[in-house]
Amino acid sequence: MASHDESSVSRKKSSDSVDEISTFNAENMQINAKIISYSRTFMSIIGGVIAGILGFTGLTGFIFYFLVMAIMSVGLAAKAGFSAHPYFDSWNQILLDGFLGGLLSFVLFWTFAYDMVHIF
Amino acid sequence: MAEDLVLDTAIRDWVLIPLSVVMVLIGILRYFVSKLMRSSNQVPDPKMVKEGQVIIRARNLRAAANYIPAKSFRARRVYFSNEENGLLYVPKGQAQNAQAQMFSDPNMAMDMMKKNLSMIIPQTLTFAWVNFFFSGFVAAKIPFPLTQRFRSMLQNGIDLSTVDVSYVSSRSWYFLNLFGLRGLFSLILGEENATDDTQRMMQMSGFGFDPTKSLGAEKDSLDIFQHEWALPKFEQRAEAVLKKLVVSVPTPVAETIKTEEVKTVVEASKEEKVAATPAHEVVTEEQKQVTKEEVAEEQVQVTEEEVVTEEQKQVTEEEVAPEVVKEKQEEATKEEVAAPPAEKPAAPEAETKELAEEAVPEEAVAKDETKEPVEEKIEAEAPKEAVIDETKEEEAPKFTEEEKPAAKEE
């Protein structure tokens, strides 16, 4: 699902020269932001399940979460051709948006998988 | 003292999984119920809708203000925030009235009640169910350690103080599910899910003051807004874009344009009067003349133009066509006088000077119409670089005329 969503990152208008006011197509920007949030949620769920199965506990699990988020950011940047300007408002949107939003889902599925596999 | 407890598999089968499944299903049910209930009674108040649309208009003006000249932006802003009859100006008496009316309206109150109930009731019911059935035992182990302070919160039913804080009761599993499934709902339900607590809070807080305060807020933000003309160099950018296009496209395009023009000429001739058709024929013949560089055609054309001018003087029904024909005749004569087509940069310049001279006494409609056939004709004849020079010069007088009054006012 993540790959399918990422393949539909849509291009939007932006200015050519730096000294002009940049124009952004609002609808496409929304679509891009939605894709980012979907991808991050999905990856956090998957990461939680993986962390639980592998038996990470404590700090290791959180480090794994941030590692997964970083991999996601790199993947998004690669999909956008390493140039944030035509697709997003700024680099921060690619790298940091939704970073902590998936944390709760991650913890839930991490707990779930960990208990399934190791305790019961 | 962190011994590993061995938990019964039955706990997993009958507590964790059912609780999660039930919460997911209740979330989906709540989503569909709220959708059904919302669509049943959706008669919007016309006054509310009007105010909402005015706000949207003002917002659009603010968003796109940099693409219109400063003078027109100011005119629009005055229309909105004018003291007497501006759309956004709401006298204080009316403001209070609308708010009071909204709260006393029974329909609105019912809607709010329904929305709140549909959010709160499933949560309360589920929580009570969890507390009743699943209390008093260790339900799960959270994989990360927490401090002792969390013990009272997480281990509610468990009365042993030596148990590790990681072993939590089912109540904490309920809360963990409550927050963690939000992400899952956003994936499976799309954007419209109302299961998010924070969204519900925002909706409730923004509901009561929508029309009146936001009108004032829009007016203030519109007053504050600084206009910045974003298109001062657009003709240069258009030139660059056209250059890129032109360099990549060879001359066969010119021929297709000519044939298209011939087709349009044929179609247009059926609609227009007879007197107008010689004008178009003159256009096509002028094109052929310039590309083929033959003096004989020039002579033929001169005679035809004379004939055409006589006919044009007779016919007075269409205002634009005679002007069009006259301009083209003058341009054609200037082309003949100026040079063979080798000196094509001179021809466009002569034409633009002519256009600039004639632009003043003419109306805007005639101006647009004359510019378009001139552009088409020149594209068909000359190399494309001359086109770019000509369009730049054509657009330059238009923009400088607009920029001058704006500059004068500012």
Per-residue pLDDT tens for B212-259?
666 777 777 777 777 777 676 677 778 888 888 888 766 555 555 555
Among B135-144, B260-269, B361-370, B383-392, which range has the highest average pLDDT? B135-144
The amino acid sitting at B162 is T
Q: Containing H/E element for A106?
A: helix A103-114
Joined together, the tokens standing for residue A7 give 């393949």
Please state, in angstroms and rounded to a whole number, the distance separating the CA atoms of residues B379 and B387: 6
Residue A20 is given by DSSP the state: S
pTM: 0.55
- Region of poorest pLDDT, from A37-41, B48-52, B197-201: B197-201
Q: For A44-55, what is the mean pLDDT? A: 90
- Cα angle, residue B97 at apex, residues B96 and B103 outer, rounded to 5°: 95
Residues of B in contact with A5 (CB under 8 A): none
What residues in B contact A102, CB-CB < 8 Å? 183
Decide if pLDDT at B369 tops 60.
no
Confidence check: pLDDT of B197 > 60: no
Q: How confident is the model at residue B43 (pLDDT cuts 50, 70, 90)?
A: low
Closest CA to B174 of A45, A108, A113: A108
| Pick from A37, A62, A115: CB nearest B140 | A115
Phi and psi angles of residue B168, each rounded to the nearest 5 degrees, phi first: -115, 165
- Chain A neighbors of B20, CB-CB under 8 A: 112
For residue B12, the Cα-to-chain-centroid distance in whole angstroms is: 52
- Is some CB atom of chain A closer than 8 A to the CB atom of B131? no
DSSP, collapsed to helix, strand or coil, labels residue A108 as: helix
Q: Band of the pLDDT at B180, cuts 50, 70, 90?
A: confident
pLDDT per residue as tens digits for the range B145-158: 777 777 777 777 67
* C-alpha span between B145 and B405 (Å, rounded): 71
Interface test mutation site (partner A, options B14, B182, B187, B193, max chain A beta carbons within 10 A)? B187
The whole-chain average pLDDT of chain B stands at 62
Token code pair at residue B236: 């240069």
Which chain A residue lies closest to B233 (C-alpha atoms)? A20
Question: Which tokens sit at A6?
Answer: 């990422």
Residue A8 near residue A79 (C-beta atoms within 8 A): no
pLDDT at B349: 42
As a whole-number percent, the residues of chain B with pLDDT over 90 amount to: 1
CA distance B211 to chain A (A): 24
pLDDT at B364 over 50: no
The 3-state secondary structure of chain B reads CCCCCCCCHHHHHHHHHHHHHHHHHHHHHHHHHHHHHHHHCCCCCHHHHHHHHHHHHHHHHHHCHHHCCHHHHHHHHHHHHCCCCCCCCCCHHHHHHHHHHHHHCHHHHHHHHHHHHHHHHHHHHHHHHHHHHCCCCCCEECCCCCCHHHHHHHCCCCCCCCCCCCEECHHHHHHHHHHHHHHHHHHHCHHHCCCCHHHHHHHHHHHCCHHHHHHHHHHHHHHHCCCCCCCCCHHHHHHHHHHHHHHHCCCHHHHHHHHHHHHHHHHHHHHCCCCCHHHHHHHHHHHHHHHHCCHHHHHHHHHHHHHHHHHHHHCCCCCHHHHHHHHHHHHHHHHHHHCCHHHCCHHHHHHHHHHHHHHCCCCHHHHHHHHHHHHHHHHHHCCHHHHHHHHHHHHHHHHHHHHHHHHHHC
Q: How many residues does chain A have?
A: 120
Lowest mean pLDDT among A101-115, B157-171, B196-210: B196-210
Q: Nearest 10 degrees: CA dihedral of B349, B354, B355, B356?
A: 90
Sorted by sequence, the CB contacts under 8 Å of residue A1 that are 6+ apart come out as A38, A42, B187
Looking at residue A117, the DSSP 8-state letter turns out to be: I
Rounded alpha-carbon distances, angstroms, from residue B220 to B47, B98, B330:
22, 20, 55
Torsion of CA B151, B153, B156, B160, to 10 degrees: 10
Mutate to test the interface with B, among A111, A114, A116, A118 (most CBs of B within 10 A): A111
d(CA B219, CA B61): 12
Nearest-by-CA chain A residue for B182: A105
Distance of CA B274 to the CA centre of its chain: 44
Cα separation, B343 vs B193, in Å, equals 68
pLDDT of residue B295: 45
Interfacial A residues in 18-77 facing B (CB < 8 Å): 20-21, 23, 34, 37-38, 41-42, 44-45, 51-52, 56-59, 61-62
Q: How far is B384 from chain A (nearest CA, A)?
A: 23
Structure tokens at B151: 């013990």
Q: Measuring CA to CA, which residue among B251, B182, B225 is closest to residue B31?
A: B182
Kindly report the number of other CB atoms within 10 A of residue A83's CB atom: 10
Scored b (16 or more CB within 10 A) or e, B238-262 reads ebeebeeebeeeeeeebeebbeebe
Q: Is pLDDT above 70 for B390?
A: no
Residue B340 half-sphere exposure, CB side, CA atoms within 13 Å?
6
Residue B80: exposure state from Cβ atoms within 10 A (0-12, 13-18, ≥19) = buried
All residues of chain B having their beta carbon less than 8 Å from the beta carbon of residue A30 are: none
Residue in B369, B359, B366 with CA at minimum distance from that of residue B398: B359
CB B247 within 8 A of CB B83: no
Spatial separation of the C-alpha atoms in residues A113 and A52, rounded to whole Å: 5
Phi/psi class of residue A92: alpha, beta or left (left: φ > 0; alpha: ψ in -120 to 50)? alpha
CA torsion B242-B238-B256-B307 (nearest 10°) is -130
Helix (H/G/I), strand (E/B), else coil: A89? coil
Within a 13 Å sphere around the CA of A117, how many CA atoms are in the beta-carbon half?
17
Structure tokens, B67? 């693409």
**Interchain proximity A104–B180, CB inside 8 Å:** yes
Closest approach of B283 to chain A, Cα-based (Å):
38
**Chain segment B302-330, per-residue pLDDT in tens:** 444 444 444 444 444 444 444 444 444 44
- DSSP string for A28-44: HHHHHHHHHHHHHHHHH
Classify the phi-psi angles of B86: left when phi > 0, otherwise alpha if psi is within -120 to 50, otherwise beta. Answer: beta
Residue from the list B140, B183, B228 with its beta carbon closest to the beta carbon of A111: B140
pLDDT digits (tens, 9 = 90+) for B250-287: 655 555 555 555 555 555 445 444 444 444 444 444 44
